[in-house]
Structure 1
């Protein structure tokens, strides 16, 4: 553990005092939601639990969106919460909450440490549970009086999660299913991917002529230029890819889950008995047969599965004849390059394509919630080392805190956060955290003066009856300058290019305020 994000509180001051003597980076944030989302980003980027500390009551409730995010995204995260004095429990003491009742449905484990000598045991267990199987969030309650008691104890040992390794015969069975399939499809998702794993799947796709798609929010798992890439199953997916999944006879799902978004509201794979043969590769046995009864279950991480797959494919080469892969990739490229004229001067597809061409291959893109995320998945050309940080729960306010943590970890990389006006205002105060710790992130605010996605659905369901979705916004470039950052307004693509260049050269946290036509949000075709 090398970094902690927090909002300080009197309920856990003893912990902060103990950290005074430790060599651990502490990011003091402006809201508990931002602090906890930073911890989620840490977990996504490192594979180790992100650590967040907040105070009791309101601090815990403010941090809860990130626990929900970590649960949906299978992110290892530990949220430490100060708790009221144990002698005052069950009296509705000041800011008292029953955290097991509050977080029980969205955390892997919720527990309270009632004796100081149990701290090493229970904290070690918290780390293990957060990382083991399907990773996820753990909530640890710390009564204030427990923290100041003294005891004799030893530190807990290092926790290395075990990674289940698949049987060679099971992996050979997967190859047999792919060999015999008439219209197979591989879908990538989840965590624990390494670069060599993706290269290996390219070899698999070539040999067995299997197109490869990525699940919702997983666009950066496979570069768009990879010849086997069939596209993203998220928002704004190509109708031809949706049809390809619906008509597949074998679907190999590695690492992720076939969520509501990826499965088109669960219509492409019938529950509980899909027409397709489903092969599930997942590190948690409880997930393998959830919703869809698989033909073959393989308990493994993407990496351990690919390690055994490498042995099975050693010495084998494809014959270069891959009409299914070529057709799927051609369709994906056509969709990505297709230009759609939107109302207004800023054409978001052109902006994203330009940005994908100038951002270094190791740049990191952080996104929040909104229809614009579909344009990114469709048009942004992710390189081999590009990373996309996002939440599958589409939680507003995620991108700025995620960018702060990404820049904290990777000081040499360019970190770009996208946010709509409403999304930015949810956690935009963490721009101040970026300034405080000299983390020069670049925030692109897409201002259409409305809750855009809600307005889209409102127009679809109740045409012409606009209510409660319009917004009046501040000057976001001025917002950046108020915190001693850099800010610039862009009203067309050329102004955006200039603003991005200036922001990159400024060396300080920056905001580019892009003014978008409100009607542009209703088009994603």
Structure 2
């Protein structure tokens, strides 16, 4: 089979059901291989729309959304949506066609170093220079995209590589397990929370990604601690149904939620990321105790000690 057909089989193996994008000359082999696939191709007017559609698909399903473009301006049009997904930790895999590899070493029409361009706005970016690595690269892209903190990955697929014959198969899909925190750290956090006079919970998008909204509600109710959320975690605790829900923390104005932060002696951040709501907005005094609960270590920030 052709390398493009193997690529499609790898996408099917990852559970991909739809791809958002625009066909182009350099991804025609990819498009031809899709004709015999169960994967649905959704054509868009602009590549940026394809990237945002894949972004939202990843947010809603927890599985990487996939978008496709051709070389040059087609690929660069993906960047804003890809960067947004990466910053907001939405799983996404972007694929772009590319000119034949014998054109990549010199100036050529619409040829850009896409791997290098996408590197700063993704968790992983790779160029396929031989069909023998397709199964590895695709598996790695989806694994990296869907592993906490999830984000965007990019694969550059030159047209001559897509045409080459290959006898290979997709790699088995294995999901990474999340290690548990050391017992002593959990006990220390419990001690801080138990001794708090006016604790407050700040819930972030990680609660949604981890499907942990019920555990959050149970934790809040059991300890009678009020909950606010970032704008990226809206709905994580139903505002109208939960008496401990304070609603979303405001970015633009001082409101009653901010008063909750001012009175708090302990702020429990669950699934929170600094890109959601910068801590200098809710912890300007730098003198409160913060408990960080997440799958990833806390970022270094003067307002988030």
TM-score norm. by structure 2 comes to 0.87
Compute the displacement of 1:205 (Å): 2.0
Q: 1:22 aligns with which of 37, 57, 62?
A: 37
8 Å CA contact 1:206, 1:228 repeated in 2: yes
The partner residue of 1:46 within 61, 82, 95 is 61
Q: State the match for 1:284 in structure 2.
A: 296
Unaligned runs of 5+ in 2: 1-15
Q: Distance in 2 between matches of 1:197 and 1:284?
A: 15
1:268 and 2:282 equivalent? yes
Instruction: For residues 238-262 of structure 1, give each alpha carbon's deviation from its aligned partner in whole angstroms, at most 9, with x where no partner exists.
Output: 5221132244221111112133745
What's 1:250 paired with? 266
Deviations 1:219-271 (A, max 9, x none): 221111211111211445552211322442211111121337454xx24335x
Distance 1:17 1:139, change over 3 A: same
In the alignment, structure 1 residue 230 sits paired with structure 2 residue 243: no
Equivalent pair of 1:83/1:142 in contact (CA under 8 Å): yes
Provide the rounded CA distance (Å) in 2 between the counterparts of 1:45 and 1:219. 13
Distance in 1 between residues matched to 2:149 and 2:60, nearest whole Å: 16
CA RMSD of aligned residues (A): 2.3
> Which aligned runs of 4 or more in structure 1 are off by greater than 6 angstroms?
none
**Rg: which structure is higher?**
1
Determine the structure 1 residue equivalent to 2:70. Answer: 55
133 and 292 in structure 1: CA distance in 2 versus 1, 3 angstrom threshold: farther
**2:250–2:257: 8 Å Cα contact kept in structure 1?**
no
**Counterpart residue number, 1:513:** none
Mapped to 2, the partners of 1:149 and 1:37 lie a distance apart of 31
Once residues 245 and 32 of structure 1 are traced to their aligned partners in structure 2, the CA distance between those partners, rounded to angstroms, is 41
Gaps in structure 1 of 5+ consecutive residues: 296-525
Task: Tell me what 1:170 maps to.
Answer: 185
User: 2:198 matched to which residue of 1?
Assistant: 183
C-alpha contact (below 8 Å) 2:207/2:213 kept by paired residues = no
Contact map agreement 1:280 1:294 (CA 8 A) in 2: no
Partner SS for 2:176: coil
Q: Could you say which structure has the greater relative contact order, defined with CA pairs below 8 angstroms and 6 or more residues apart?
A: 2
Which residue of structure 2 aligns with residue 220 of structure 1?
Answer: 235
Deviation by residue 1:356-415 (Cα, 9 ceiling, x = unmatched): xxxxxxxxxxxxxxxxxxxxxxxxxxxxxxxxxxxxxxxxxxxxxxxxxxxxxxxxxxxx
Aligned residue in 1 for 2:142: 127
Instruction: Indicate whether 1:9 and 2:17 are aligned.
Output: no
Deviation at 1:98, TM superposition (A): 1.4
1:85-234 correspondence runs (5 A): 85-191=100-206, 193=208, 197-225=212-240, 226-234=242-250
Mark the CA change 1:224 to 1:206 in structure 2 (over 3 Å): closer, same or farther. Answer: same
Matched residues, number: 289
